[in-house]
């Protein structure tokens, strides 16, 4: 039997010597140009990190491409960021410009550092997930094609802006806490195949999976009944019971959310809030969605003060002005009708000792 | 293999942003399952719906997780993605790799799988996207040869991940990479053999900028902080101000607790230490002049999760300050107490944050041996519906 329970490779063997030598001893960093970080250690050592865009879904040939570059300029060392960009770690300053030139020549996009619109954290979509209401990769590509100048720093933004895409309300990734999120949603009631449910479903689990208590047992046929008045089409019952289907290509689509953040800087972390309740799926380019995202970015960057993130800007001007400036209709869908009891818990590291 | 036409996806090879379609095509040039993935995706784009079947439990010997089974619902049309399972391979801490290691993984995946990757999955794992049931065990065996173990899936402790921390960041209050390395090794059994009511995630960010999004995306977030005063280099502050930096509007006004003051006469930055909530903003704005304090540790937040079932949660304060030094005994003890209580009381598919909300924060604190503290709440309760225990009151008069 194969070796088990040994964990990932030790990072100590994968970090470049300059990091090993200056580990925990960095003094400050600067951003000499968009996409490049210059780290200075108390020892005087200087490390450059060059950040480039990745589609996240990549081929083994792409992996070998970036390995070639890392070997040529970085003694074979590289890393990925928590937003799925690649970073080349340059210890020899004389190799910095040649690396940037080669990356430009090969059409890698250099950027995504600090005040910018960085990579979109996204999910599997139709490429690999059974609950996907939309395609994450296609949405990401379509949106980022519009945002490239903000990624590379060609056009400035007031503050960092984080976009996330999730293909269903499971919101794998950080959609509930991003400046702009695109989340796949259903709008029609799931259908129950009673015969199949009686064979493959655990009825109590299926009932417990419903956030609104819309599901009750149907003992006559050993299945369940969904109360359409209570169902808000989250799809969680379909995750536990394969006999319940919710996919509806005509009515499925995406919603857009704004104003979330995770950092504690200035303001506590914030949830993203509903901006646009529904836009239909329009593959391959999702033009209505990309236009809506572009509008949100535009209205934010022309109105926000320097250093003001989307949620902070909205808190200053108020939601009433946000909806007006963004030219988005406010509807009954924006009124929360879900119960919350944890609003008193302190969801930030901001406090006094 | 027969060339299938993909006019909709071809559209996504245009534009400046790197194209995932180009990547699938590169893999498809030498791999039939990548080619069928592309063809099935084109059909999804035509019909606006996915073609993956519900569930499917597959794995490798000795483990209950780490592999996500996936089957096409149209196997006659796309036979090479009939089985298209993914491996979650535990990433090295901080996502550091050498070209040599990455090449080895790429070669293994070309041999046993589709040649397609997600670098990386949202939790942190290196995702190997798409292989057959038959290839799972030999592929895993090959991965172990070059030192890669699987990550978590299902109702287990999931793969731990962290920000880059002390490897490259001057703001790191704790050694996030070492912490997740040590915890990952300590919790191997909990990661590989699901034994809990639902998933449990730990993420570590070395400062409150939270670059790992720990408070939103992990049940237990470890976020580095300091307890003394941040360090100020007044010469460097003056240098920034003299260089035209608008310290009043960019820093002083933005401090959430008005803890900072710029004395323009003395040309000195002053801080009221007890008002600082270590939000990081001033340090972020003036990295050469301002530095984290010396008495370092972490704040632990509990309960962060996505919406399903009871609504999204951002983790809230559980422990205001804990020292995080190897071998992290105090932290591990707390994790064990939390997961034991949750395993005892949690319903099927109930996250720890939801269980705390259902049973009450005070019951939870009592179970894990922590005192209630004002740092745990934004404000005390506003309703009078208070539970009293029999031993807290006298007998009936």
Identify whether residues B352 and B369 lie together within a single domain. yes
* A251 — pLDDT class (breaks 50, 70, 90): very high
- Could you tell me which chain A residue has the CA closest to the CA of B276? A352
| Start and end residues for every CATH 3.30.70.3340 domain found in chain A | 14-106
Q: How far is A33 from chain B (nearest CA, A)?
A: 16
Identify whether residues B133 and B16 lie together within a single domain. yes
Q: What is the pLDDT along chain B (397 residues), one digit of tens a residue?
A: 456 799 999 999 999 999 999 999 999 999 999 999 999 999 999 999 999 998 778 999 999 999 999 999 999 999 999 999 999 999 999 999 999 999 999 999 999 999 999 999 999 999 999 999 999 999 999 999 999 999 999 999 999 999 999 999 999 999 999 999 999 999 999 999 999 999 999 999 999 999 999 999 999 999 999 999 999 999 999 999 999 999 999 999 999 999 999 999 999 999 999 999 999 999 999 999 999 999 999 999 999 999 998 889 999 999 999 999 999 999 999 999 999 999 999 999 999 999 999 999 999 999 999 999 999 999 888 888 888 999 999 988 7
> Across chain A, where does the E strand assignment appear?
26-33, 36-41, 46-52, 57-59, 77-80, 86-90, 163-166, 180-185, 191-192, 215-218, 223-226, 244-245, 253-258, 273-280
Identify whether residues B178 and B102 lie together within a single domain. no
Order of strands, edge to edge, in the sheet holding A57-59?
Answer: A57-59, B116-118, B126-131, B85-89, B67-68
Reading the block at residue B46, the tokens are 């035509």
| Start and end residues for every CATH 3.30.413.10 domain found in chain A | 136-186+249-344
CB atoms within 10 A of CB A241: 26
Q: Is residue B221 part of a domain?
A: yes
Q: What is the ipTM of this complex?
A: 0.96
- Could you tell me which chain A residue has the CA closest to the CA of B86? A128
Quick: pLDDT tens for A85-113.
999 999 999 999 999 999 999 999 999 99
Reading the block at residue A10, the tokens are 């030790």
Quick: pLDDT tens for B298-354.
999 999 999 998 889 999 999 999 999 999 999 999 999 999 999 999 999 999 999
- Are A8 and B92 an interchain contact pair (Cβ–Cβ within 8 Å)? yes
- Could you tell me which chain A residue has the CA closest to the CA of B256? A266
CB contacts of B211 in chain A (<8 Å) are 82
CB contacts of B377 in chain A (<8 Å) are 344-346
Domain limits at B213? 161-227+296-376
pLDDT for A339: 66
Q: Is the pLDDT of residue A304 over 80?
A: yes
Identify whether residues B132 and B253 lie together within a single domain. no
Q: Is residue B165 part of a domain?
A: yes
Among B111, B146, B181, where does a domain finish?
B146
Interface test with A, best of B51, B95, B199 (most A CBs within 10 A): B95
- Are A171 and B106 an interchain contact pair (Cβ–Cβ within 8 Å)? no
Least confident of A35-39, A50-54, A167-171: A167-171
Beta bridge partners of A37: A49
The whole-angstrom separation of Cα A83 and Cα A178 is: 12
- Could you tell me which chain A residue has the CA closest to the CA of B298? A349
A191-243 CATH fold: Alpha-Beta Plaits (3.30.70)
Measuring CA to CA, which residue among A196, A211, A185 is closest to residue A241? A196
Identify whether residues B197 and B329 lie together within a single domain. yes
Does the model's pTM come out above 0.90? yes
Q: Is residue B369 part of a domain?
A: yes
The whole-angstrom separation of Cα A326 and Cα B224 is: 37
Instruction: Please check whether residue A331 touches B, CB under 8 A.
Output: no
* Residue B191 DSSP label: H
Q: Is residue B390 part of a domain?
A: no
The class of domain A136-186+249-344 in CATH terms is alpha beta
Instruction: Please check whether residue A320 touches B, CB under 8 A.
Output: no
Q: How far is A201 from chain B (nearest CA, A)?
A: 12
Place of tokens 């939309």: A134
- Are B376 and A4 an interchain contact pair (Cβ–Cβ within 8 Å)? no
The CATH number of the domain holding residue B74 is 3.30.70.2500
pLDDT for B182: 98
* Residue A333 DSSP label: G
The whole-angstrom separation of Cα A231 and Cα A229 is: 6
Q: Is residue B385 part of a domain?
A: no
Q: How does the average pLDDT of chain A come out, rounded?
A: 96
Neighbour-count burial of B60, counting CB atoms closer than 10 A to its CB (0-12 exposed, 13-18 middle, 19+ buried): buried
Identify whether residues B102 and B20 lie together within a single domain. yes
Identify whether residues B208 and B300 lie together within a single domain. yes
pLDDT for B3: 62
Q: Is the pLDDT of residue A163 over 70?
A: yes
CB contacts of B210 in chain A (<8 Å) are 262-264, 269, 349
The whole-angstrom separation of Cα A174 and Cα A221 is: 40
Q: Is residue B1 part of a domain?
A: no
Q: Is residue B151 part of a domain?
A: no
- Could you tell me which chain B residue has the CA closest to the CA of A202? B348
- Are A126 and B44 an interchain contact pair (Cβ–Cβ within 8 Å)? yes
- Are B216 and A209 an interchain contact pair (Cβ–Cβ within 8 Å)? no
* Cα end-to-end distance, chain B, whole Å: 88
* Residue A348 DSSP label: S
- Are A130 and B52 an interchain contact pair (Cβ–Cβ within 8 Å)? yes
Q: How many CA atoms lie within 13 A of A187 on its CB side?
A: 14
Q: How far is A218 from chain B (nearest CA, A)?
A: 21
Number of domains chain B is built from: 3
CB contacts of A13 in chain B (<8 Å) are 98
Please report, for residues A68, A105, B118, B172, the alpha-carbon distance to residue A91 in angstroms, rounded to integers and kept in the order given: 16, 22, 27, 21
* Residue B79 DSSP label: G
Measuring CA to CA, which residue among B291, B113, B240, B121 is closest to residue A59? B113
pLDDT for B1: 45
Interface test with A, best of B73, B100, B118, B248 (most A CBs within 10 A): B118
Domain A14-106 has CATH 3.30.1490.100: no
The CATH number of the domain holding residue B331 is 3.30.413.10
Identify whether residues B355 and B314 lie together within a single domain. yes
């Amino acid at each position: 039997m194969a070796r088990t329970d040994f964990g990932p490779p030790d990072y100590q063997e994968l970090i470049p010597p300059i990091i090993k030598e200056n580990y925990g001893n960095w003094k400050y960093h600067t951003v000499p140009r968009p996409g490049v970080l210059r780290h200075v250690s108390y020892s005087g050592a200087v490390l450059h990190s060059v950040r480039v865009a990745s589609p996240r879904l990549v081929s083994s040939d792409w992996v070998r491409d970036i390995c070639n570059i890392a070997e040529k300029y970085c003694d074979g060392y590289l890393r990925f960021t928590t937003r799925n960009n690649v970073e080349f770690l340059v210890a020899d300053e004389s190799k910095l410009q040649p690396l940037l030139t080669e990356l430009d020549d090969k059409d890698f996009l250099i950027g995504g550092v600090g005040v910018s619109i960085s990579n979109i954290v996204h999910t599997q979509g139709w490429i690999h997930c059974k609950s996907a209401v939309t395609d994450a990769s296609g949405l990401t590509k379509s949106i980022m094609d519009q945002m490239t100048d903000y990624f590379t720093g060609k056009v400035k933004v007031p503050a960092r802006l984080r976009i996330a895409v999730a293909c269903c309300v499971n919101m794998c990734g950080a959609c509930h806490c991003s400046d702009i999120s695109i989340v796949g949603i259903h709008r029609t009631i799931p259908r129950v195949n009673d015969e199949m449910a009686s064979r493959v479903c655990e009825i109590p689990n299926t009932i417990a999976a419903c956030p609104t208590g819309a599901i009750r047992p149907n003992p006559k046929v050993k299945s369940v009944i969904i109360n359409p008045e209570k169902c808000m089409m989250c799809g969680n019952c379909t995750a536990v019971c394969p006999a319940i289907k919710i996919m509806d290509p005509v009515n499925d689509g995406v919603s857009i959310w704004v104003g979330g953040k995770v950092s504690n800087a200035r303001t506590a972390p914030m949830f993203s809030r509903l901006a646009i309740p529904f836009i239909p799926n329009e593959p391959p380019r999702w033009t209505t969605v990309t236009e809506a995202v572009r509008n949100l970015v535009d209205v934010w960057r022309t109105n926000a003060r320097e250093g003001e993130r989307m949620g902070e800007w909205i808190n200053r001007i108020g939601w009433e002005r946000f909806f007006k400036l963004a030219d988005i209709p406010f509807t009954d869908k924006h009124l929360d009708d879900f119960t919350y009891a944890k609003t008193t818990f302190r969801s930030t590291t901001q406090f006094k000792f | 293999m027969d060339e299938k036409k993909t006019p909709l996806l071809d559209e996504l090879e245009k534009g400046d942003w790197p194209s995932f379609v180009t990547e699938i095509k590169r893999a498809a040039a030498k791999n039939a399952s990548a080619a069928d993935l592309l063809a099935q995706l084109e059909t999804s784009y035509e019909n606006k719906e996915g073609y993956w079947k519900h569930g499917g439990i597959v794995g490798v010997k000795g483990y209950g997780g780490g592999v996500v089974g996936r089957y096409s619902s149209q196997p006659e049309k796309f036979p090479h993605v009939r089985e298209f399972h993914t491996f979650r391979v535990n990433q090295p801490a901080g996502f550091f790799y050498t070209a040599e290691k990455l090449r080895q993984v790429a070669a293994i995946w070309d041999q046993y799988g589709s040649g397609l990757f997600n670098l990386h999955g949202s939790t942190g794992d290196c995702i190997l996207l798409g292989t057959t049931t038959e290839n799972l065990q030999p592929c895993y065996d090959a991965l172990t040869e070059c030192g890669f173990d699987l990550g978590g899936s299902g109702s287990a402790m999931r793969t731990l991940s962290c920000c880059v921390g002390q490897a490259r960041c001057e703001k790191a209050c704790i050694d996030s990479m070492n912490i997740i390395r040590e915890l990952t090794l300590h919790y191997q059994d909990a990661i590989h053999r699901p034994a809990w009511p639902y998933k449990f995630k730990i993420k570590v960010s070395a400062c409150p900028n939270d670059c790992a999004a720990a408070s939103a995306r992990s049940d237990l977030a470890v976020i580095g902080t300091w307890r003394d005063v941040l360090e100020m280099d007044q010469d460097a502050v003056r240098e920034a101000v003299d260089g035209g930096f608008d310290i009043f509007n960019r820093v002083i006004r933005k401090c959430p607790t008005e803890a900072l003051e710029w004395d323009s006469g003395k040309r000195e930055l002053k801080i009221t230490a007890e008002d600082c909530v270590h939000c990081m903003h001033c340090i972020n704005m003036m990295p050469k002049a301002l530095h984290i304090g010396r008495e370092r540790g972490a704040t632990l937040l509990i309960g962060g999760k996505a919406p399903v079932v009871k609504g999204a949660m951002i983790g809230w304060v559980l422990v205001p300050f804990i020292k995080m030094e190897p071998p992290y005994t105090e932290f591990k003890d707390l994790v064990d107490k939390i997961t034991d209580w949750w395993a005892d009381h949690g319903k099927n598919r109930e996250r720890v944050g939801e269980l705390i909300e259902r049973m009450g924060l005070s019951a939870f604190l009592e179970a894990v041996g922590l005192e209630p503290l004002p740092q745990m709440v934004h404000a005390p309760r506003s309703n009078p519906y208070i539970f009293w225990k029999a031993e807290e009151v006298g007998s009936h008069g």
